[in-house]
Chains A and B, each alone.
Chain A
C-alpha cells in the first residue's frame, strides 16, 4: 500500500490533469444513467400512455446525452492516458539518470536481464495502472455502488433476484484470474524456453554440425515445442470454458429480469419501461464488475513492479563526490597507491592487501599475476570505479576522493578486458569519449590503433554500424577499436587490460604494436598475460593473492627466483619439456586461480 501511495505521489505535478480526469469520470458515470432513463420514459410515457408528442424530444434527448457522454468519455480517457504517460516519461528519465549514477559494485551484483525487465516491463505495468487501472478502479466502484443503489430504488425485490447471479459471476471472475491467467503465464514461459533452445541451436551451430548432432537437437527442440503446444492447448481449453461462461452468467441476469420482472409488471408493481431500462442498468453494473478482476490484478502487479522500481531508485551510490571537490584540468600523470586494501563487498576476502607503488608521469607500469590475483582490481581503483577500504590513491598528489569524478575520468583512457562497442557507426564508437572529434582525428586514432585499414575496407567505411547486417567484428578487431577510442581522448593516463579474449597470433601481434605506439608519453598501466608485452615496461609488479610479491624490470626479475621467472620459463618452453614437478605446481596454481574469479561464480 505504501508503494501505491508513493506511486500516486508522482501524480502531484499534474493537479490540473488529475482534476480534469476525475471530474470527467464523475460526469461520465452520471451520464451513463441518462440513456436507459430516457428509454424507460419513451416506453412508459410516450408509447404506453400515448404522449406521442414526447417521442421526438426524447429521442433528441438520447442523442444529446450520447454527445455529452462521448465528450466526457474523450476527456476522461485522453486525460488519464496523458497523466500516465507524463508520469512514466519522468520516471524513465529519472531511472536512466539513476542507473548511470550507480557504482560498478552495483553492476557486479546485478544481471542485465533483470535490470532490463525493471526498466521496461515494470515501468510499463506502472504506466498501465496509472493510465487505465487507477481511473477505472474508481469508476468501477462508483458505478457499481451507484447503479446498485439506483436499482434498489426502482425495484428492490427484482434487484435482489438479479443479484443471485452475482456470486457465480464473481466466482467465475476469480476462477479466471486464478486458473486461466496463470496458464497463459506458463505458456509464455514455455515459449521463452523454446526460444532459448532455438537461440542456443543457432549459436552452437558449428558444434552441432561438427558433432553430427542434428537429430538430437531436433529431439530437444521437439520436446520443448510439444510442451509449448500442450500448455497452449490446455490454456485455450480453460479459456474457452470460462470466458463464454461469464457471458452466460451475465445473460442469466437478463433472463431473471424477464422472468421475475415480467411478473412484477404483470402484477402492476413495475412499469414495462422500467423493465427494459432495468436490463440496460444491469449491463452498467456487470461491465465494471467483470473488469474488477482485471483491475485488482493490475493493481497488484503495479504494486509489485513499483516496489522493484523504487528499490532500484533507492539504491544509493557509494562513490560520491565530496562537496567542493577539485576540478583537475590536465593531470601530469603521477599516480601513487599508499597501502591500499580492497574487498568486493560480496566476498569477505580482501582482494588487495596493502598494495603500494608509485608511477611517475610517462612511465609504463606492467602488472602480472595469475587469474584472481587482483590485477584488474588495481586498474579499477584508478578511475575510482571503487574506493579502497583502507589506504589511499593519489593523482598528482591529490587523493582521488578529493577530485571531481568527471575530471578524474577525463584524464584516463581505458581499454577494458571485455571490449564493449555500441551499435552505432564505427566513427561514433571511436569518438565515444569526444563526440565533437573531426573525422581526421578519428582516422588518426584508428591508424595508431592499427585498425584504419580494416575499417576503410568495410562497405560503408567509418559509417558501418557495428553489429548490423552481419558486420560483426572479431574480438581482436573490437579491441583495436577500443584502443582507438581511448587514444582519441589523448589522456595523460592510459589503462590497458590486455587479457584479450581469444585472438590469433597475427592479431595479437597487431594489438601489441598498436599498444606500444599508444603508450608513448603517457603514464600507462598494463595488465598482460604474455611476457612479450611487458619487456619494455619501466616497472613490473607481480601480484599474488592481493600483494605485490615482486617488483623491478624484466631484466632484474628474470635474474631472481620467483613467480616472474617461473612464468617466463613456462612460456618460453614447450610443454613437453616441463618437468613433472613444475607441472604439478602449475596445475595447483591454475586451479587456485580459477576458483578466485571475483563475482564469476554462481
Chain B
C-alpha cells in the first residue's frame, strides 16, 4: 500500500508533535468512527492475508514438490492433490488481500475526507464571520493557503498517513512472527539486515525529503520570477532591462539545477543502497540457510527443520522489510508538517469574530434613514484614535458628502455605519437603534454600498446585478440596469445579460463595471446608500453616464458619499469636512465657501482648475 502522498511534508513548516492538537484533530473523525473501525478491521485482514503467500509457497515446496524424509514416499496423487490445495489457498489469500485492501483504503478515505470536509467547512464558515480587521492584517494568499494547502496536509495525514503507518507496523509484526515461526535461527540471522536498513532509511529519507523541499522552494522561486517577468514584460521592454532580468533568472535557474542535482544524487545513492541491503539479505539467507540444511543433512536427520522451500519463503520475506521501514521514516516528517498546519488552522478557528450579534439583538425595522453618530471614538489598533468625538446628525433623505484628506477618517465613518467595526466609545444609531443592538443581517441587508474598487463576481452580468436581490426577476434586473444607463451596453455584449464576466470583471471596462455595480445597488433598493466615489479613468462621455446614473441612485435616500467629484459635493445637502479624525466643519457648499475655512482651502487647491 504505497498510497502515501507527501505533498504537505515537502513544503511548509514543521512543528513538533502536540498531543492536544492531535486529539482535537482526531475529534473530527468521531462522527465517522464506524468507518474507521471498518478500515482497521480490513487492515488486519489485509496485513495477514498478504503475508500468507510466501509461507504457502515454502510449505508446498517442502511437503509436496521436493519432499524429504517420510513425506518423500507420498503417492503421486497425494502430492499433486496437496500442491493443488496450497495453490488454491495461495490464490484465495490474494483475493482476500485485494478485497481487504479495497475496504481498508475506501473506509479510511470515507472517514478522513468527510471529517476533513467538516473541518474545511467550519473554517470557511468561521472566515465569513471574522471581522474585516482580521482580513486587513493578512494578504489573501496566506488565507487561501490556510483553507486549501494546510487543510490538504491534514487530509493527507488522515487519509493515508495514519493507516499506512499503522498498517506497516502490523505488516512488520506479521512478517517477523511468520519468520520466527518457520525457523528461529534463520529468522534471527536474516534480521541482521534490519539495522543497516534502519540506518540507511533513517539517515537518507529525512535528507532526501529536505532536498526535495529545497527543490520545491527553488522551483517556486523560478515560477515566481517567471510570473513576474511575463506580467511585467511590457515594462521590461520599455526600460530595456532584458539582460539584467535574464541574469537574475539564469541565477535562479542555476540554483534550481544545483538543488535538483543534489536531491538526485541522494536518491541515486539511496535506492541502490537499499537494493544492496536486499542482496545482502539474500546472501545471508542462502548461505546461513544453506549451512543449516547442510549440517542437518550431514547429521543424517531424516527430516530437517529447514527445507529449500522454507528457504525460498525467507528469500521473499527478507525483501519485505524495506517498504514499511521507508514509510515509517517519512511519517515523522508528515506528522510534523500536519502539526504546523493544525496549529495555523485552529488559531483561525479560535479567533474571536469581533463584530457579532449581541445576545438578544433584534431585527432592525425598515430604515427611515435617520443616522446619528453620537460622540464616537474609534481606533483600528490600540490607542491610535482615527476618529475622535465624531458627532453627526443626518435626517432621512439627505445627501451627505464626506470630504477630507486621505486618512482623515472618511472611510472609518462609513465602516462604522456598516458596522464593519464597533466604536471604541460613543454610539452610532439608525432611526434611534444602536447598531450594536440590532442583528448584522437586518442592518446590512438594508444598506447599499458602492465601493471605489468595483468588484464583480465571476458569473453572468445578470448574476452580478441580481447579487443585490437574489430572487429578482428579469424585469426588475432590466429596469435597474436601464435606470443607471447600463442596459444599452449590456444588450450589446456578445450574450447580453448572460455574458460571462471574467475574473473580477476583467473583460469589462472600468466604466461598465461601475455601472453594473450601480445597478446592483439600485436593485437592492437600500434604505441608506453609501458610496465611495472615485474619479476614474473614463472618458468624459462615460463620466457623464456615470454621473447621471448616480443621481438616479441617490434620489430620495439618505446617502453618505466619500466624494471626489465637485458636482457631487456641491449638490450635497450637508458637507462634512474631516481632518485628523475630527469633524471640523459641516454645512452646504455655499455656507462653507463663505466661512472660508478648511473646505474653502481644499476647494481652492483641488478643484480650482476644473
Contacts and interface: CB of A to CB of B under 8 A. Distances in A.
A58 B544 CA distance: 95
Nearest to B405: A506
Contacts of A447: none
B311 interface: yes
Please give me the 3 A-B residue pairs with the lowest Cβ-Cβ distance, nearest first. Answer: A66-B279, A59-B287, A212-B444
Q: How large is the interface on A (under 10, 10 to 19, 20 to 34, 35 or more residues)?
A: 35 or more
A500 B535 CA distance: 9
Contacts of A191: 148
Contact of A258 (B86, B228, B488, B504): B86
Interface stretch (A67-75, A133-141, A332-340): A67-75
A104 B492 contact: no
A501 B105 contact: no
B506 to A, nearest CB: 9
Contacts of B530: 210
B542 A112 contact: no
Contacts of A243: 3
A517 interface: no
A85 B257 contact: yes
B564 A420 contact: no
A272 B62 CA distance: 10
Contacts of A529: 537-540, 543
A417 interface: yes
A1 interface: no
B534 A503 contact: yes
A78 interface: yes
Given A89-B254, A504-B535, A587-B545, A600 B509 contact: yes
A591 interface: yes
18 contacts: A48-B308, A70-B279, A74-B268, A107-B234, A131-B264, A191-B148, A196-B503, A225-B124, A233-B110, A241-B102, A243-B3, A244-B1, A248-B98, A254-B90, A276-B308, A369-B539, A422-B232, A586-B541
B23 to A, nearest CB: 24
Nearest to B224: A423
Contacts of A85: 257, 260-261, 264
B83 interface: yes
Contacts of B271: 73, 77
A567 B238 contact: no
B233 interface: yes
Q: Max chain A CB contacts within 10 Å: which of B80, B240, B541, B565? A: B541
A243 B109 CA distance: 15
B467 A211 contact: yes
A594 B113 contact: no
A391 interface: no
Interface stretch (A12-20, A142-150, A215-223, A349-357): A215-223
A211 B65 contact: no
Q: How large is the interface on B (under 10, 10 to 19, 20 to 34, 35 or more residues)?
A: 35 or more
Given A202-B140, A212-B444, A262-B83, A99 B233 contact: yes
A69 B467 CA distance: 67
Nearest to B279: A66
A265 B312 CA distance: 15
Contact of A35 (B272, B282, B291): B282
A564 to B, nearest CB: 10
**Prevailing SS type, chain A contact patch:** helix
A99 B230 contact: yes
Interface in A376-424: 383, 385, 405-406, 409-410, 412, 414, 416-417, 420, 422-423
B80 A263 contact: yes
B539 A69 contact: no
A236 B268 contact: no
B144 A71 contact: no
**Prevailing SS type, chain B contact patch:** helix
B457 A571 contact: no
B240 A406 contact: yes
A67 B3 contact: no
Interface in B261-277: 261, 264-265, 267-269, 271-273, 275-276
Nearest to B609: A532
B65 A77 contact: no
A259 B87 CA distance: 6
Interface string B239-254: 1111011100110011
A347 interface: no
B158 interface: no
Interface in B502-555: 502-504, 507, 509-512, 524, 530, 534-545, 547-548, 550-551
B61 A420 contact: no
A211 B472 CA distance: 15
B22 interface: no
Contact of A100 (B246, B449, B452): B246
Contacts of B245: 100
Contacts of A38: 286
A42 B293 CA distance: 12
B445 interface: yes
A346 interface: no
B572 to A, nearest CB: 12
Q: Max chain B CB contacts within 10 Å: which of A263, A405, A594? A: A594
A275 B62 CA distance: 13
A275 B272 contact: no
Contact of A206 (B128, B132, B315): B132
Contacts of A210: 418, 444, 447, 449, 451, 530
Interface in A154-188: none
A78 B234 contact: no
A304 interface: no
A248 B101 CA distance: 11
Given A207-B455, A470-B139, A575 B547 contact: yes
Interface string A259-278: 10011011000001001100
A42 B278 CA distance: 17
Contacts of A593: 539, 541-542
Contacts of A120: 219, 222-223, 226
Interface string B80-121: 100110110011001101100110111001100110010011
A566 B246 CA distance: 49
B138 interface: yes
Given A198-B148, A504-B562, 17 more contacts: A52-B290, A56-B287, A69-B276, A77-B264, A116-B223, A200-B458, A207-B467, A221-B121, A232-B113, A239-B3, A251-B94, A251-B97, A258-B60, A500-B536, A502-B537, A590-B544, A595-B492
Contacts of B45: none
A42 B290 contact: yes
Given A255-B87, A262-B83, A420-B235, A81 B148 contact: no
